[in-house]
Amino acid sequence: MRLINKNVILLFIYRFGFNYPAPFNLSYFWNFGSLALLCLVFQLLTGIFLAMHYTPHVDLAFSSVEHIMRDVNYGWFLRYLHANGASMFFIVVYIHVFRGLYYNSFTYPRQWLWFTGVVILLLMILTAFLGYVLPWGQMSFWAATVITNLLSVVPFVGTDLVYWLWGGFAVDNATLNRFFSLHYLLPFVILALSFIHLIFLHEFGSNNPLGVALKADFIPFTPYYTVKDLFGVVLFFIFAGAFIYFAPNYLGHPDNYILANPLVTPTHIVPEWYFLPFYAILRSIPDKLMGVIALLSSIVVPLLLPLYLKVAIRSLLFRTFSKILFWVFVVDCLVLGWIGGKPIESPYYEIGQFATVFYFAYFLVILPLLNSFERFLMQYWYSYYYVK
């Protein structure tokens, strides 16, 4: 019995630990999965220590953040690490997602890996929004007011849903308490989903830059990719440290250092930079209900990719047209992020509408048509060179 238990433990370590077999040709773009887990751990740890000194009350929240910055030993470091860590987390995850799109890592048999990854991204967005409200600055308060009001578009019960979420008739103390509780809870849900994500990864194996199934060319994850990941971690710490130590407020908004005032509306209400592409999609549609539907659809559409897109060749390295349009799509997302921080006026409004149309067209029209066209080219090439 003892021998059986030992074998089970060794098998678990082999399959789900650091020594599982991995393709021999993984590039540094595969480092961002482990970096995302590292960011999650840092956010959890710094968040727990910050919660020890934070007070979720509208009269004390802003001053408690200043207390952390000025009076708590290394409190400034914890807060800057947590705030900038959120930005680093999204940078890493966005690159991770774009890598999955480039190499079509969402196709069979890894569709469940993709599903769990997109759900993790959704929870990250929700958690980051809840955390953005906690400092109780001007931008925190008004961002909460604007975003929570989106629930009012729900027919018949929209207004009641907004009041229920607020815990009253305005964003106030009950709202702040609820947001703090959820912001503390959701990272642990994300951590649990991350382990499920890893289980699916180790069950079906990693995709590779060639996009083909490698039957025999596998190497142990340790030491080959462990060392590679450590090198990526060092570079990541250098990049993140540049913001934390030399430009800690560069990615934030200066209005959030002003105490929340319900009587004074900021000139431009903008969320954090990692929400700007979705915020631009919301503002690009003049109808409020359609704007909310477009906002939700912009996150849900990538989730549906494995259901309607079946590709013969995964990697875009061998698909010229798809590769070109993929980079056009990346530029389109950057344009949406730029537009999201601009006022709603010409020409930003028109550019945002065009970028929004291209965003949805890429997933729903361009990718299926390109896939069919490239299949046709493959069949034509095969029949011309081999059949004849």
Catalytic residue flag (residue 202):
yes
Whether residues 175 and 217 share a domain: the answer is yes
Is 197 among the annotated ligand-binding positions? yes
Whether residues 106 and 81 share a domain: the answer is yes
In-domain check, residue 274: no
What's residue 219's pLDDT? 81
In-domain check, residue 187: yes
Strands, E assignment, the chain: 21-23, 218-220
- 13 vs 368 pLDDT, higher one: 368
Q: Is the pLDDT of residue 323 over 70?
A: yes
Number of domains, the chain: 2
**Which residue in 34, 87, 272, 322 is the catalytic one?**
272
Q: Which of 234, 269, 304 is the last residue of a domain?
A: 269
Is 268 among the annotated ligand-binding positions? no
Is 202 among the annotated ligand-binding positions? yes
Catalytic residue flag (residue 272):
yes
Instruction: Kindly state the percentage of the chain with pLDDT values over 70.
Output: 92
Contact 137, 258 (CB under 8 A): yes
Is 67 among the annotated ligand-binding positions? no
DSSP state of 259: B
**Which residue in 87, 206, 284, 315 is the catalytic one?**
206
Instruction: Kindly state the percentage of the chain with pLDDT values over 90.
Output: 60
Q: Is the pLDDT of residue 7 over 80?
A: no
User: Roughly what angle, to the nearest 10 degrees, separates helices 173-204 and 138-148?
Assistant: 70
Q: Which of 269, 297, 313 is the last residue of a domain?
A: 269
Map tokens 């989106």 to a residue. 150
In-domain check, residue 31: yes
**Which residue in 34, 64, 140, 202 is the catalytic one?**
202
Nearest-angstrom CA–CA distance, 301 and 278: 13
Mean pLDDT of 79-93: 95
Sign (positive/negative) of CA torsion 105, 109, 111, 117?
Answer: negative
Taking the model in full, what pTM does it have? 0.91
Whether residues 287 and 260 share a domain: the answer is no
Map tokens 């990526």 to a residue. 232
Nearest-angstrom CA–CA distance, 40 and 82: 10
Question: What backbone torsions phi and psi does residue 250 show, to the nearest 5 degrees?
Answer: -65, -40
CATH of the domain at 26: 1.20.810.10
Which amino acid is residue 160, in one-letter code? Answer: D
In-domain check, residue 123: yes
What's residue 361's pLDDT? 95
Q: Is the pLDDT of residue 309 over 70?
A: yes
Whether residues 246 and 289 share a domain: the answer is no
Residues forming beta bridges with residue 198, ordered by sequence position: none
Mean pLDDT of 291-312: 88
Whether residues 232 and 347 share a domain: the answer is no
Is 82 among the annotated ligand-binding positions? yes
pLDDT tens by residue, 109-165: 889 999 999 999 999 999 999 999 999 999 999 999 999 999 998 888 989 999 999
Catalytic residue flag (residue 6):
no
Catalytic residue flag (residue 228):
yes
Domain that holds residue 346: 279-387
**Which residue in 34, 229, 298, 322 is the catalytic one?**
229
Whether residues 145 and 66 share a domain: the answer is yes
Contact 241, 120 (CB under 8 A): no
